[in-house]
Amino acid sequence: MEKQMPNKDRRDRIRIHFKARVIIRTGNFVKNIVMTLKNISMTGLLADTNDKLPVGQKCDVAVIVPGKSSKLVLHIKGKISRHTKTGIAIRFNDELEWWSIFSMFTNYGK
């Protein structure tokens, strides 16, 4: 019988504090929710919002990375993983391949 490794908390990934706009859409929620990104990792993000969606709710996420004369939009699938006092956390379905962009362009996210 093969011994299974304990489930490691995925929140232990490095987070980058980055201010950007986040828009999420869900199948059951008709309007877009615009949030302010607080931090992002390869596996999820934390954003400020007054809207509270149910934990486990699947969502489509758009993170808008601002530039001086352009913007980069990342589209990610995920689900609501928890609530905080000021917002919500979203866990991505897959690791974010573009995560290094946030470390390269931190001056835009301050």
Domain ranges of the chain: 15-104
Percentage of the chain beyond pLDDT 90 is 49
Is 90 exceeded by the pLDDT of residue 74? Answer: yes
Q: Tokens at residue 6, please?
A: 């304990």
Owner of token pair 């869900």: 26
The Cα–Cα gap between 25 and 21 comes to 14
pLDDT score, position 99: 81
Higher pLDDT, 87 or 104: 87
What is the DSSP secondary-structure string of 15-83?
-EE---EEEEE-SS--S-EEEEEEEE-SSEEEEE-S--PPTT-EEEEEEEEE-SS-EEEEEEEEEEEEE
Is 70 exceeded by the pLDDT of residue 2? Answer: no
Q: Which class would CATH give 15-104?
A: mainly beta
Task: Quote the pTM value.
Answer: 0.81
